[in-house]
Amino acid sequence: MDLHRLKNQFLDYLEIEKGRSVKTTANYRAYLDRFLNWAKISQPEKISEELVSRFRLFLNHYQNSSGKSLKKATQNYYIIALRSFLKYLAKKNIASLQAEKIEIGKTIRPEIEFLGPVEIKRITESAAGNTLKSLRDRAILELLFSSGLRVSELTNLNRDKIDLKNQEFSVRGKGDKIRLVFISDSAKMALEKYLARRTDIDPAAFVRDVQGLKKFSSKKISPAGGKMSEGQRGGSPPDSLRLTPRSIQRIVKYYAAKAGIVKNVHPHTFRHSFATDLLSNGADIRSVQVMLGHSSITTTQIYTHITNPRLKEIHKNFHAKK
């Protein structure tokens, strides 16, 4: 069978049967396309250990038009995609290289940077004020630390999904997995103040153009066949003002600088800080895994080497007791 046809079948399998996201499937397509275009082969039995070794060498030497090389982690993504493809071929009893013969290269994990409670407080309190923008930004900062949300999960959040009474809501994370997210008391207060000031009908929890809300303020959607108002003729308001991940990043960096934080703070720093704070205060790693929406405990374990609350005590009690 033709490899390109098998590749397309594999991608359909990932999306439909394995439930992988559209973005993940697109990434796998890009990785496999580069391999097949480089290898210039059309039969699965032509994939060999020697061919894969030469492909890895190609990836290691590759530079783009700006002279930038591929990171080791990125190189591994290509190999992971290829291994998954080979496992699929074996599942379909199609002769090719055994996936187990390809090893994933080791990568050095970047150092996790997180914020302590004092730093978090300085940043959130720097978003002071009673304007809609200030209330929005304070709610964003409080919710990021309260929930450990990914920035994409925050921007996709609709306000009708937020249950302030029970201080929780559900989000659809990576791999379309749904998890329950909890809201702290301070985040609840910030959200209440912000949402109480929203008079528009945009469904997004966090909107980017505060002035633009006035166009849709208190507008009523016409019944079917009814005459639209002038404000509605300009287009449908839903999702038109939703904040983008890039906007959230700018907001976080602005208030971190305003608070005098010298660390390179970004939205994911709040997620790291959320996990670190939980583990440092005695939460078990399995619970933190669930709250972060990690599919593997291995991903959550990146925090354990910096968050074990007993290490300092153990060192003091047992080290160099002469």
Residues carrying an active site annotation? 150, 174, 268, 271, 294, 303
Distance, in Å, from the CA atom of 285 to the CA atom of 276, rounded to the nearest integer, reads 10
Is residue 273 within 8 A of residue 120, CB to CB? The reply is: yes
Is residue 162 within 8 A of residue 147, CB to CB? The reply is: no
Contacts of 263 (CB under 8 A, 6+ apart): 113, 115, 119, 256, 269
Is residue 148 within 8 A of residue 270, CB to CB? The reply is: yes
At CA 77, angle to CA 291 and CA 249, rounded to 5? 50
Q: Which of 13, 4, 30 is nearest to 92 (CA)?
A: 13
The sign of the torsion formed by the CA atoms of 199, 202, 203, 208 equals negative
Is 184 strand, coil or helix?
Answer: coil
* Token pair belonging to 315: 């060192």
Distance, in Å, from the CA atom of 92 to the CA atom of 7, rounded to the nearest integer, reads 12
Terminal Cα-to-Cα distance of the chain (whole angstroms) = 72
The Cα-based distances of 196 to 88, 149, 188, 199 in angstroms read 52, 22, 12, 8
Distance, in Å, from the CA atom of 95 to the CA atom of 279, rounded to the nearest integer, reads 47
